[in-house]
Each structure stands twice: as structure tokens, then as C-alpha cells.
Amino acid sequence: DVKVTQSSRYLVKRTGEKVFLECVQDMDHENMFWYRQDPGLGLRLIYFSYDVKMKEKGDIPEGYSVSREKKERFSLILESASTNQTSMYLCASRPGGQGGHEQFFGPGTRLTVL
């Protein structure tokens, strides 16, 4: 069974704090993704990575950075959290190739920034 885990289900942080969201997958997938999900806006891609130490900007990378030091782990970093980053964050992984495979999602982290 493919498993994608995220470090926290719920997280509350203060404005200006540095926030780390961790994602781990156990199926040796090359591709990993970070999305945020907001009502009325669907899922929006923040960053993705197709290999260790490789990263690509998604549609809304501003205010975020990522790290992929190991194949199984993809971290999303909010350098200085702001209230407009309150959202549901979803991590996903997928095998390599041009996209002919399903994505496997983690359970999500609901982040609240006060």
C-alpha cells in the first residue's frame, strides 16, 4: 500500500513564525508535490520536485520554499508565516514519467496562522 504521511493534521502558528510542513512517502516515487486547498479555489500547486534536490515552482510559489534532500521526503517551508497562508496543505507523490500515473495524497495539514 502506498502511503504518504504528513507531519501534522492540524497546526496553529503565529504571524512571522517559520513553519515546516513535512511529507514522507514510502513507495520510492520520483515526483512529489505540495498543494494548498482553499474554498472556491480548488487545489493550487505550490511547488513540485521530480528528483532529489530538484524543485520547480508551481502556480503560487510566493512566500514558500521547499527542500528535497532525500527521495522520500519533501518539505514545505513558510519562511515568515502570514494570515493569508491559513489553508489546507496537501502533499502528493507520483512515480516518474510524463504523468501517466495517479497521484497519491497525504491526509492534509490544516494550518491556521494567527
Partner 1 sequence: SQQGEEDPQALSIQEGENATMNCSYKTSINNLQWYRQNSGRGLVHLILIRSNEREKHSGRLRVTLDTSKKSSSLLITASRAADTASYFCATINTNAGKSTFGDGTTLTVKP
Can you give the binding site for partner 1, defined by CB under 8 A?
4, 31, 33, 35, 40-45, 48, 50, 56, 58, 88, 90, 92, 97-108, 110
Q: What cell does 93 get?
A: 507523490
Q: Which is nearer to partner 1, 14 or 57 (CB)?
A: 57
Least distance to partner 1, CB of residue 16, Å = 27
The C-alpha atoms of residue 85 and residue 96 are separated, in whole angstroms, by 30
Across-strand partners of 113?
Answer: 13
Least distance to partner 1, CB of residue 107, Å = 5
Q: Which is nearer to partner 1, 69 or 100 (CB)?
A: 100
Least distance to partner 1, CB of residue 94, Å = 8
Least distance to partner 1, CB of residue 34, Å = 11
Are 24 and 72 spatial neighbours (Cβ–Cβ below 8 Å)?
A: yes
The C-alpha atoms of residue 111 and residue 98 are separated, in whole angstroms, by 31
Across-strand partners of 89?
Answer: 36, 109
Q: Which is nearer to partner 1, 16 or 97 (CB)?
A: 97
CA dihedral 16, 47, 73, 108 (to 10 degrees): 70
